[in-house]
Amino acid sequence: MKPIALVALLCAAFAGSAAAQSSVTVYGRINTTVEYQDNGDDEVTAVENNNSRWGLRGTEDLGGGLNAFFMLEQGFKSDDGGGSAGFNREAFVGLQSSQYGQLKIGRITSALYYATLDYIGVFNHDTGTTAEDKFWVLNFTSPNAVEYTSPKFGGFAVALTASAGEGNDGVGTNSGVDEALVYSKTYEGVVTYDVDNLHIGAGYSQSRNVADDTVVEGFAAAGFYTFGSFGVGLAYQHNDSDVLGKRDSVTATGMYTLGNGELHLAVGWADDWDDVDNSAATSWTLGYNYNLSKRTKVYAFYHGVDNDENATYGQGYSQTAVLKDETWQTVGVGIRHAF
């Protein structure tokens, strides 16, 4: 073989090997709706961003079944082009082994949230004005966190997360930023069971605000089961807050698939907080998805939240404020594209 041809062959072989060992992917989701919203006092037609995001993720094969990985994710506003500073959704690095499990370090979304309420939120991936997480008060994202997830044993897996309240009494300064940042000390433990068409997730979460030493803790559990063209989900939360007292909430979801179309129904209920009378609420969603491809769908929905006298549950993205003792409603159509 000629020397030049040999060098070219070796370079090609090396490049192929390197590509197989490591990779970086750009990914994201753009999810936007046009909605007519009514809070019982004002009405508005709005274009809404539904948790659009982009990110980078990568892996490197270290050999012997061990992989390094990372994820950086940032939210942005698909309605007006605005965005957040930094990777405000996810920012972690880790190691993963099929034998020993997975370790993450950084800013991490709650494994308990993913395993329960988010898992059953199948209409619009638990995002936007129709999100099922209106009654979720437990930890959602942990900065300065360490998380370990075990391998699966007979369908079971365990995830343990701890985040630090950094700085003097939890008050620290971000390098180059004048504002003081207050972090909560959060601890979570989650058990999941996944076999065939059944998912069950349950766990405990505690977050202590180190600035005023108040605690929000609770237990959450959920299950989702698919059979034929149907899927049904049920989630339960028990919350205990030093400020508000105790409260229970339940969310149920259902899905029927026919070809590329999906019909969805979701109903949620939150009881009164013990220390806040008339703070209960109910929510409901009737929605339809049509999947144009695996990455693109169009959808339509009707969604509402009925608040008691001292409740203001709502999604927060709305251009109409959520009012006490009112029914907040929205009707909309949207497009979701993943890349």
- CA of 304: how far to CAs of 36, 39, 210, 328, in Å? 12, 9, 36, 5
pLDDT tier, 83 (very low <50, low <70, confident <90, very high otherwise): confident
12: exposed, middle or buried (C-beta count within 10 Å: 0-12, 13-18, 19+)? Answer: exposed
pLDDT greater than 80 at residue 99? yes
Q: What pLDDT shows up at residue 182? A: 57
Q: Mean per-residue pLDDT for 1-19?
A: 44
- Reported pTM: 0.87
Rounded distance between C-alpha atoms, residue 237 and residue 69, angstroms: 32
Strand (E) or helix (H) holding 114? helix 111-115
Q: Mean per-residue pLDDT for 86-105?
A: 96
Residue corresponding to tokens 């059979």: 227
Dump the DSSP string for 289-313.
EEESSSSEEEEEEEEEEEE-TT---
Q: Mean per-residue pLDDT for 202-212?
A: 92
Q: What pLDDT shows up at residue 315? A: 67
Report the mean per-residue pLDDT for the chain: 89
pLDDT greater than 50 at residue 168? no
Nearest to 310 by CA among 244, 266, 252, 250: 244
Rounded distance between C-alpha atoms, residue 283 and residue 252, angstroms: 10
Rounded distance between C-alpha atoms, residue 102 and residue 97, angstroms: 6
H-type alpha helices, the chain: 3-21, 111-115, 117-120
Q: Which two tokens stand for residue 279?
A: 């703070």
Q: Which domains does the chain have, with CATH numbers?
A: 23-338 (2.40.160.10)
List beta partners, residue 267.
Answer: 252, 284
Going by the DSSP 8-state scheme, the letter that residue 103 receives in this structure is E
Rounded distance between C-alpha atoms, residue 315 and residue 313, angstroms: 7
Q: Mean per-residue pLDDT for 152-168?
A: 88
List beta partners, residue 281.
Answer: 270, 307
CB neighbours of residue 126 within 10 Å: 22
Q: What pLDDT shows up at residue 135? A: 94
Rounded distance between C-alpha atoms, residue 126 and residue 136, angstroms: 11
List beta partners, residue 333.
Answer: 34, 300
Ramachandran sector of residue 327 (left: φ over 0; alpha: ψ -120 to 50; beta: rest): beta
CB neighbours of residue 213 within 10 Å: 10
Q: What pLDDT, in 10s, does the model give residues 231-281? A: 999 999 999 999 999 999 999 999 999 999 999 999 999 999 999 999 999
Rounded distance between C-alpha atoms, residue 330 and residue 184, angstroms: 34
Please, what's the b/e burial string for 230-242 (b: 16 or more CB within 10 A of its CB; e: otherwise)?
Answer: ebbbbbbbebbbe
